[in-house]
Structure 1
Amino acid sequence: MGIHHNHSHTHTHTDLRGRNLVISILLNLVITVSQVIGGLISGSLSLLSDALHNFSDVLSLIVSYIATLLSQKEASTNKTFGYKRAEIIAAFVNAASLIVVALILIKEAFERFLNPQPIASDLVIWLSFLGIAANGFSVLLLKRDADSNMNMKSAYLHLLTDMMASVAVLIGGILMKFYQVYWIDAFLTFAIALYLIYMGYDLLKDATRVLMLFTPNTIQVRNIVDTISQIDIDSIKNVHHVHIWQLNEAEVHLEAHIDFKSDIRLSEFEAILDQIEDIMYHKYGINHVNIQPEYGKCDSKHVIVQD
């Protein structure tokens, strides 16, 4: 079964993703510089922590942008898959950086909580408005691709959490201005850090699953074996040596050995293979199938075999 893709549309959409990432990078650079200056002047830890997170956003967005460019490169004889996993690596790096930044913020929040300091809340409030506006716009730019692309989701999460952090900083600034509750600065920093860990962990886990060639959560190997076995019960004796992995968001691969009851003709195998490819694609979303036919071969007939 041939699976056709509209490459012109794919490249156009990838170019649009790249443009949105560039816009988000520039906006976050403006926010970062503004918040660093404002945090130093006001003495606000939550504003400086938000600036640190924004700077990590800039780095993560640059990583995502480079990965998006690499993913468009063609395959070659020494890179037969091209750079299709570049975006997964970017997602892993960005998710890990979310957690690292969160741990740094927790340390800083604890130190400031023990020693709260007066803060120029007016500056904190105005700069938090800037962060909400710029990050909110960036979130809208990336939201479309966040559900279907792990790399874009990692960039989206960085920006979404930063927008929420700016909201928290705004609330803290208002409380400090009107009620002089300065410990709220450290408390909100701690809350932001916990949220970063919560958001980053799931993405880190998903990216790790892909990089480690684990079977996608939506697919059960036993169901695959049973489905293939039922396609032609008169011919198929055994399905074994099964490997299922996800190359990236767009590609899921299956390879397996099929032991046939008789020495069938190649044309008969091709007919069975067409059925397998069709069912695997429409029922399980597997779009790359590699089947090794066997007859009377003495090898392990276990479903899973350690290579």
Structure 2
Amino acid sequence: MRRHHHPVDPKAGDMRVLIAIAVNLGLTIVQVIGGVLSGSLALIADALHNFSDAISLIIAFGARKIARRPSDATMTFGYGRIEVVAALVNYTTLIIIGLYLLYEAVLRFMDPQPVAGWIIVVVAAVALAVDAITALLTYEMSKDSVNIRAAFLHNVADALSSIAVIVGGTIILLYDWRLVDPIVTLLIAGYILWQSFREIGPVIRILMLGSPPDIETSAVLAFVRGVPGVADIHHAHFWQIDEHRAALDAHVVIESGKWDQADAIKALVRDGVMSAFKISHTTLELECAKHGCGNQTEVGGPADFETVR
């Protein structure tokens, strides 16, 4: 099922992102100071995650600017895919941070350190409020951009992390149980890694020119074969130009005796896949049923394999 998008005005969206960046950078500084003063690894872990959110928002802001550039001779499809590249950078960075936090948590299990619980609770409460504000600022934009959606999900994760840190700090205050700090750190790191690995797959799929995950390639091919006047379709390439635009490149075989209707049949195919599957870009090579190309493959083509020899 495709998402329904409600684009935010670009200038208004840019201002929201800038405000979110400023708020998150300020929070990161407060959390680091609080973590150092309290000796809390969990609070510093939350600060690192929050800082990664700020960096991801900075990357997202730059990507939004670049993505608006029109197509040119260098980038004939436009610059929209820069947001996908930015999302890949953000998720990769999060994975590295998550692995580092796991390492630090294991070390803290071996050598528990004293933690000032009251500082943890106060700073984490402030963080929770800031995370909620940032999530509100980016929520609408997250519906229309894989890049902003990554930042939004990070802030939701931050909010949950802050709740976990508050609970951990409260337990330390009540029972002086120091191991709760590395335990909370493990939970934060685990959530970061789970979220990152879950979200990075679709991003890699777009960059690898994979077919849209919400559309069955076989359904598209069957639809084209069902268009009146079409005998077959082969050498099909079906991919995502960016998060919102799908493309189809294929050889379409026209039934015998209907070559004089070829242009009309091509229009039916083009309009049909746009209506049924929202495929906005189609490149169709028409073939006569009697003189079609040889060595036919349903998807891909001979040239795809020659490049890897």
TM exceeds 0.5? yes
Alignment partners' CA distance in 2, 1:150 and 1:94 = 11
Map of 1:158 onto structure 2: 154
Map of 1:62 onto structure 2: 58
**1:268-294 Cα distance to aligned partner (Å, 9 max, x none):** 222212221222122212111111101
Map of 1:33 onto structure 2: 29
CA contact (8 A) 1:239 1:301 kept: no
Amino acid at match of 1:210: I
Alignment partners' CA distance in 2, 1:250 and 1:131 = 33
Q: Secondary structure at the match of 1:248?
A: coil
The alpha-carbon deviation at position 265 of structure 1 amounts to: 5.0
The alpha-carbon deviation at position 144 of structure 1 amounts to: 1.8
The alpha-carbon deviation at position 99 of structure 1 amounts to: 1.3
Map of 2:307 onto structure 1: none
1:198 maps onto 2:194 in alignment: yes
Map of 1:262 onto structure 2: 256
Amino acid at match of 1:32: T
CA contact (8 A) 1:92 1:203 kept: no
Give the TM-score, by structure 1 length: 0.91
Map of 2:80 onto structure 1: 84
The alpha-carbon deviation at position 82 of structure 1 amounts to: 2.1
Which shows bigger deviation, 44-53 or 255-264?
Answer: 255-264
**1:104-157 Cα distance to aligned partner (Å, 9 max, x none):** 110111111111122111111110011000111101111223233211111112
Q: For structure 2, which runs of at least 5 residues remain unmatched after alignment?
A: 1-5, 305-309
Q: Secondary structure at the match of 1:287?
A: strand
Q: Percent identity of the aligned residues?
A: 32
Amino acid at match of 1:206: P
Give the TM-score, by structure 2 length: 0.91
Q: For structure 1, which runs of at least 5 residues remain unmatched after alignment?
A: 1-8
Alignment partners' CA distance in 1, 2:134 and 2:262 = 51
**1:219-251 Cα distance to aligned partner (Å, 9 max, x none):** 22222222111111xx32221010110111221
1:53 maps onto 2:49 in alignment: yes
Alignment partners' CA distance in 1, 2:184 and 2:117 = 14
- Alignment length (residue pairs): 295
Map of 1:5 onto structure 2: none
Matches within 5 A, 1:93-172: 93-172=89-168
Alignment partners' CA distance in 2, 1:201 and 1:16 = 31
Decide which of 277, 296, 301 is 1:301's aligned counterpart: 296
Map of 1:282 onto structure 2: 275
Alignment partners' CA distance in 1, 2:293 and 2:275 = 33
Decide which of 226, 232, 242 is 1:238's aligned counterpart: 232
Q: Secondary structure at the match of 2:279?
A: coil
Q: Secondary structure at the match of 2:241?
A: strand
Amino acid at match of 2:247: H
Map of 1:6 onto structure 2: none
